[in-house]
């Protein structure tokens, strides 16, 4: 069992909110975490899997069932399969606002978010469970394994790289062929597979709807709808450009990354760390891995993230912000002996920032010049946690 950082926050929320909703991609560990909470709590729980006909049958008269079991903490798994439950849960909660009455588990679905936000406003808190982060993976385990296999527990903890990629391939097949249609994306399966394959080759690059539309021979609105849907399903992440007034012309399209590098590597048929290091995507993969690790590790902090590229080749991979204040500016390099790109220094000079780093896969922290330091990914996350505490 890997201890998930979200467990502490969920336990605290169960003391204050009637409804706690854990959202995230399929197979990311939501059910395992909920059952772990059941085992460690003195409260009484009742678990229903809404993909099982036998459990669905118990909710034939949902108001009666929920009322009769009001002394339990009810865990309703795959809640997006029963969106009509949300108004009933609201009514039942309003009759008894005892904290910790419901734990809802939902694979990413626009319907889930929309229905619950409309029906349970003021009664619900959301906790997103991301793939495993470095702090959960533990410092005595190799970082390369998490980078190669990604953070889905069954992939990360597989007995071998071959077993891991077999699991990811099966996950993607099921996700595209079964889960996406059930979540509301009506599209040809082969089209979605082609979309994901092209997206893998453009991982970490600014979004270009025109190029996608031309390659797939479909319209721009359809392409953008696919992207939005995959983002709401937590498969990809869009990193928006720096939004404050800036004197130079900037790239305004978001950069798109797969949230899990294991999924990216599966789509590109990369089976080992040696294959990854020799692949053209290696640098972009490391960049996406670092960005996702930073964002997911600091999810509980009040931080926002963006990037900045100008049309004059000045660029930085990540800007960490707290409100309107820039906390740190990052360049992410797959090198233990990085140089400082001129374009990065241009950004540093234009923004006049104090904390500027080049994030590397190494273990050392050392100055590169008067304004920029090299730092390992774990060390940067630790520094950011400390400075934003």
Multiple choice CATH, 6-128, 2.40.110.10, 3.40.50.300, 3.40.50.1980, 1.10.10.10: 3.40.50.300
| 317 within 8 A of 305, measured Cβ to Cβ | no
List, for the chain, all residue ranges whose pLDDT scores fall below the cut of 70: 1, 109-114, 117, 139
Ordered by start, the domain boundaries in the chain are: 6-128, 134-387
| pLDDT value at residue 250 | 85
Q: What was the pLDDT predicted at 378?
A: 94
* Residue 322: predicted pLDDT: 95
What pLDDT score was predicted for residue 268? 97
The predicted pLDDT at position 180 comes to 87
pTM for the structure as a whole: 0.93
Burial of 84 (0-12, 13-18, 19+ CB in 10 A): exposed
pLDDT at 212: 93
- Long-range pairs for 302-308 at CB < 8 Å and ≥24 separation? 302/388, 303/327, 303/388, 305/239, 306/239, 306/240, 306/241, 306/242, 306/243, 307/239, 307/240, 307/241, 307/242, 307/255, 308/241, 308/242, 308/246, 308/250, 308/347
């Amino acid at each position: 069992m890997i201890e998930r950082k979200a467990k502490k926050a969920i336990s605290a929320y169960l003391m204050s909110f009637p409804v706690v909703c854990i959202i995230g991609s399929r197979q990311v560990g939501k059910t395992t975490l909920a059952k772990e909470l059941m085992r460690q709590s003195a409260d009484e729980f009742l678990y229903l899997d809404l993909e099982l006909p036998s459990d669905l049958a118990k909710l034939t008269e949902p108001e009666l069932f929920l009322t009769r079991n009001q002394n339990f903490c009810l865990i309703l798994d795959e809640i997006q399969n029963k969106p009509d439950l949300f108004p009933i849960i609201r009514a039942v909660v309003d009759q008894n606002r005892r904290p910790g009455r419901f734990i809802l588990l939902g694979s990413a679905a626009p319907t889930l978010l929309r229905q619950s936000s409309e029906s349970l406003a003021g009664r619900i808190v959301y906790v997103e469970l991301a793939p495993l982060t470095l702090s959960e993976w533990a410092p005595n385990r190799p970082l390369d394994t998490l980078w190669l296999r990604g953070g889905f527990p069954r992939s990360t903890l597989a007995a071998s790289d071959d077993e891991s990629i077999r699991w990811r391939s099966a996950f993607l097949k099921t996700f595209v062929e079964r889960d996406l249609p059930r979540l509301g994306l009506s599209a040809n399966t082969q089209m979605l597979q082609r979309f994901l394959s092209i997206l893998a080759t453009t991982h970490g690059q600014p979004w270009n709807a025109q190029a996608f539309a031309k390659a797939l021979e479909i319209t721009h609105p359809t392409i953008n709808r696919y992207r939005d849907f995959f983002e709401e399903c937590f498969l990809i992440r869009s990193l928006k450009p720096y939004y404050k007034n800036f004197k130079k012309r900037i790239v305004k399209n978001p950069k798109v990354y797969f949230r899990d590098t294991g999924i990216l590597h599966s789509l590109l048929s990369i089976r080992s760390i040696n294959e990854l290091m020799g692949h053209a995507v290696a640098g972009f993969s490391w960049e996406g891995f670092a960005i996702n690790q930073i964002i997911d590790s600091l999810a509980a902090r009040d931080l926002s993230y963006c990037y900045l590229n100008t049309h004059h080749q000045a660029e930085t991979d990540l800007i960490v912000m707290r409100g309107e204040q820039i906390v740190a500016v990052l360049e992410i390099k797959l090198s233990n002996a990085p140089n400082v790109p001129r374009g990065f220094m241009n950004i540093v000079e234009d923004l006049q920032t104090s904390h500027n780093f080049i994030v590397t896969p190494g273990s050392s922290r050392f100055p590169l010049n008067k304004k920029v330091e090299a730092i390992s990914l774990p060390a940067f996350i630790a520094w950011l946690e400390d400075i934003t505490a």
